[in-house]
Amino acid sequence: MSARFVPAFADLPASLPIFPLTGVLLLPRGRLPLNIFEKRYLAMTEDALKAERFIGMVQPQADEGDAGEPALYRTGCAGRMTEFAETEDGRYLVTLTGIARFDIARELPRDRLYRRVLPDWRPYRGDLEGDSAPIERERLLAALKPFFRRHNIAAEWAAVEATPDDRLVTSIAMAAPFAPNEKQALLEARGLAERARLLTTLVEMAAHGGGEGAAPARH
């Protein structure tokens, strides 16, 4: 996302519609496509388009599932709708670009079809600035090759090697078929270096074990 469209910290919204979805990870500067068809989330999308275009992605806690109003992890990530399309069968195809993480200060009373929260942005002010901390890049790249083979992931290796550190870590963390609690740990990592270390460990473990590919995000 162009710096022109990244809000200042003071301009982050005071309330946030949330989209609880198990196993789906959005990180700052990551891009998340969503296929939205459920009535409450169609309404959420329409309301967000009329306002700041922000939606908060947050996972239900373990074993809660997506139905109803599951208990949620405290930390999520807000994205801004940067692409939007309608389909002939009444769905919305949306791309969220991650802006900043947030903690749920409290959930607002239910007066709409979807849930809303008061976000606490303060612990994640640095998300707006980016992170250029060094990572163990060679170790991560070495782990990715058997990981891709194990999970039948086709990749242009020259493009992977040319990807900057922050984009590499973000894209692999978001796309890889990790368990929901592992996705949450990647989200809550304090910065790029810590997230890269955790990602490398998860990739190394998964390269030698089972696992299934992640399904497209639908709701």
Residue 210 pLDDT greater than 60, yes or no:
no
Q: Which of 64-68, 70-74, 97-101 has the lowest mean pLDDT?
A: 64-68
Residue 67 pLDDT greater than 90, yes or no:
no
Residue 173 pLDDT greater than 70, yes or no:
yes
Residue 217 pLDDT greater than 60, yes or no:
no
- How is the chain split into domains, by residue range? 3-128, 137-207
Tokens matching residue 138: 């060679």
Report the percentage of the chain scoring pLDDT > 70.
93
Per residue in 32-64, pLDDT tens?
Answer: 999 999 999 999 999 999 999 999 999 999 888
At residue 184 the predicted structure's pLDDT band, cuts being 50, 70 and 90, is very high
How far is it, in rounded angstroms, from Cα 168 to Cα 92?
Answer: 28
Per residue in 4-41, pLDDT tens?
Answer: 678 899 999 999 999 999 999 999 999 999 999 999 99
Q: What is the mean pLDDT of residues 53-77?
A: 92
3-state secondary structure at position 23: coil
In order, the DSSP letters of 98-164 are: EEEEEEEEEEPP--SSS-EEEEE-GGGGGGGT-------HHHHHHHHHHHHHHTT----HHHHHHS-
Domain 3-128: what homologous superfamily?
LON domain-like (2.30.130.40)
Residue 212 pLDDT greater than 50, yes or no:
no
How far is it, in rounded angstroms, from Cα 36 to Cα 38?
Answer: 6
How far is it, in rounded angstroms, from Cα 193 to Cα 1?
Answer: 22
